[in-house]
Amino acid sequence: MLKIGVFSKLSRISIRMLRHYDEIGLLEPQTIDSFSGYRYYSEGQLPVAERITALKNMGFSLATIKEIIENFEDSDSLSHLLSVKKAEVLEESADIQRRLLLLESTIAKLRKDGKAMPYSISLKELPKRYVASVRQIIPSYNQEGLLWGILMQETAPLQMQDGDPCYTLAIFHDGEHKESDVDVEVQKSVKGTYPDTQHVTFKTVDATLIASATYQGNYDKVGEVNEAVANWVKDNGYEFNGLSFCIYHVSPHETSNSDEWVTEVCYPVKKK
């Protein structure tokens, strides 16, 4: 039999941790002296201690390790748990690589122009949603309000409920900047289902991975924000995967003060 200090040295597990393993029933002493309270382990427990350390190094929690140790002879269950952990570690590794690329591209940009990041770019998923939609050719981008007017007027009798969250956005279908006769669609996410009206179509829109930047102020800034998002996409190993659009978090509908408008410029993307 081995005293806890000797077992600690042989197993390379601290006495404090061995006591914790005992408390949670992961690795209990072979015997405890009823008079002195000394813990004694057997040499046969060293392989178990080694197994626990190996599983910890793989990233398993102590609760999961306890489950594995108790069912160690079940090779199918062990193989499944190891495969699941491998998938988790691969995902964590990919996430770390994405973060490293973000850091490297930001550092490179700072070194190139010496400016702090004017806009913060986010990569996120816009969730699946049910929307009221109006799409038409309008004279110019700054007359987008015509479409919102149609949407509001034709859906007023329907007493629509706003989505949660409620996304109001405009999609630019031309795929390029045009001086006139622009193809624009406006959407508002809603709850429930509703019949189409003369110009309003109700539909479900799939979830979309987007790179986006949110800014406050007049729409004159859209051009430079577009440039910032496009550069981020190019520098971080993504490519465009759909039409750009803007989400209006605070729009002229809420306030006439353009300094208070909050707009999110979005580009659907996918990994190269």
247 neighbors 124 (Cβ within 8 angstroms): no
The pLDDT, as a whole number, for residue 77 is 78
Instruction: Determine the pLDDT at residue 111.
Output: 65
Residue 120 makes CB contacts below 8 A (sequence gap 6+) with: 213, 214
Please give, one letter per residue, the 3-state secondary structure of 216-245.
ECCHHHHHHHHHHHHHHHHHCCEEECCCCE
Is residue 117 predicted with pLDDT exceeding 60? no
pLDDT of residue 176: 78
Mean pLDDT value of segment 86-101: 81
Average pLDDT of the chain is 88
Lowest mean pLDDT among 27-36, 73-82, 187-196: 73-82
215 versus 119: the higher-pLDDT residue is 215
pLDDT at residue 121, as a whole number:
85
pLDDT for position 148: 95
Predicted local confidence at residue 112, as pLDDT: 65
Of 187, 182, 145, residue with least CA distance to 166: 187
Residue 244: the pLDDT is 87
pLDDT of residue 158: 95
Q: Is the pTM of this model over 0.75?
A: no
For the ranges 63-77, 169-183, 196-210, the lowest mean pLDDT is seen at 63-77
**Dihedral-angle region of residue 166 (phi above 0 means left; psi in -120 to 50 means alpha; beta otherwise):** beta
CA–centroid distance for 175 within its chain: 26
> pLDDT value at position 35?
85
Q: What are phi and psi of 89, to 5 degrees?
A: -65, -40
Place of tokens 């009221």: 132
Nearest to 210 by CA among 129, 122, 130: 122
What local confidence, expressed as pLDDT, does residue 114 receive?
58
The average pLDDT across 153-178 equals: 91
Structure tokens at 34: 């009823």
User: What pLDDT score does 72 carry?
Assistant: 73
Rounded-to-integer distance, Cα 231 and Cα 173, Å: 21
Residue 53 pLDDT level (bands cut at 50, 70, 90):
very high
End-to-end CA distance of the chain: 59
Cis peptide before 195 (omega within 30 of 0): no
pLDDT more than 70, % of the chain: 94
130 pLDDT more than 90 = yes
- Which is it for strands 39-41 and 262-271: parallel, antiparallel or unpaired? unpaired
> Residues of the chain with pLDDT > 90: what percent?
52
